[in-house]
Amino acid sequence: MIKDDHTPIHIMLADDDEDDRNFFNDAINDLKINNKLTIFKNGKDLMDYLESPDTILPDILFLDLNMPCKTGNECLKDIRSNQKFKDISIAIYSTSSSDKDIEETFVGGANIYIKKPNDFSKLKKVLKEVVNLNWQFHTSKLNKDTFFFSI
């Protein structure tokens, strides 16, 4: 996403785990990029927010899969079935790296799949790369191999 320095990049995260939300928040802050971060505790809050009429839509949405009320997969399905959200880039952000989850979200229309790293410096590295990704270029040559993000 190429943005000029004056417009902050709008990042959203939906994750039910408090620690993970904190790690994410800290990592984004450490990156020192001009951003606006909105964090939701579950899928339902996220969808309620997105669907309200005067919402400013995010540039990138980080979506955890295993959440109460509404799972990441259900959110993905709802977002991709709504024309209004077609410009949102969706990054799956999950502990799981099972073939089943990767396959499902790829077919479901996610743009990238990130396995949650077990090292904070690695997390920062991943987020930096993803936030600065040229989404147009990435999406145009997206396949199953490039879908699963690895550094």
- The Cα 65–Cα 82 span in angstroms is 19
Among 119, 137, 140, 143, binds another protein (CB under 8 A): 119
Look-up of token digits 């799981």: 96
- The Cα 12–Cα 72 span in angstroms is 13
Among 121, 132, 134, 146, binds another protein (CB under 8 A): 121
- Give the shortest CB-128-to-another protein separation in angstroms: 16
Residue 95 binds another protein, judged by CB under 8 A:
yes
Nearer residue to another protein within complex by CB, 118 or 143: 118
Residue 116 binds another protein, judged by CB under 8 A:
yes
For strand 89-94 and strand 35-40, is the pairing parallel, antiparallel, or unpaired?
unpaired
* Only segment of 8-16, 74-82, 113-121, 131-139 that touches another protein (CB under 8 A): 113-121
- Give the shortest CB-112-to-another protein separation in angstroms: 19
Of residues 46, 71, 74, 51, the one with CA closest to residue 61: 46
Look-up of token digits 């955890």: 64
Q: Considering only residues 5-34, where is the footprint of another protein by CB under 8 A?
A: 19, 23
- Give the shortest CB-92-to-another protein separation in angstroms: 14
Which residues, at least 6 apart from 52, have a Cβ–Cβ distance to it below 8 Å? none
Q: CA torsion sign, 92 to 102 to 94 to 133?
A: negative
Q: List residues binding another protein (CB under 8 A).
A: 19, 23, 66, 95-96, 98, 116-123
